[in-house]
Structures are given as C-alpha cells and as structure tokens.
Structure 1
Amino acid sequence: MTIATLAVIGAGTMGNGIAQVAAVAGLDVADDRRQRRT
C-alpha cells in the first residue's frame, strides 16, 4: 500500500511542519484550518 495524499487537521505549529515535510517528500497535502469564534 502506498500513501499518496496526507490530510492535516489543524494548521498550528506542528500541523504546518508536518504538511511541509510531507509536501517536500512528494505527497499531495490537504489541510483544514479552523479558527475559534468567540
């Protein structure tokens, strides 16, 4: 089984880093950025 796409939920400090490393490795990356509403 080959992983070709990675979904990152939460684009904080760790999420951004994970997405960047995955993209550099050649994976398609989808991220979900949500903001808290007060």
Structure 2
Amino acid sequence: MIIDFPNIPEQRLPNFKGGEKEYIARMFFVGQNLIMYG
C-alpha cells in the first residue's frame, strides 16, 4: 500500500500530549490503526 501524504490535508492538534503549542499532522486511518506524519 502506498500512502500519498502530500495529498492528505493537514490537521492542527492543539496541546498535543499536554504540550503548549499545536502539532500539525497528516493522518491516515485504517480500521483501528493510525499513521501520522508531521
């Protein structure tokens, strides 16, 4: 399977894992699995 991350829209996650800033990631879901690129 080829995942084309440049064509997946970015999502902004504020306070990711308790942090103070936001994390910008491209996410791909397959069933219960999550692949993040950021």
Q: Which has the higher helix share?
A: 1
Q: Which has the higher strand share?
A: 2
TM range (shorter): under 0.3
With normalisation by structure 1, the TM-score equals: 0.22
With normalisation by structure 2, the TM-score equals: 0.22
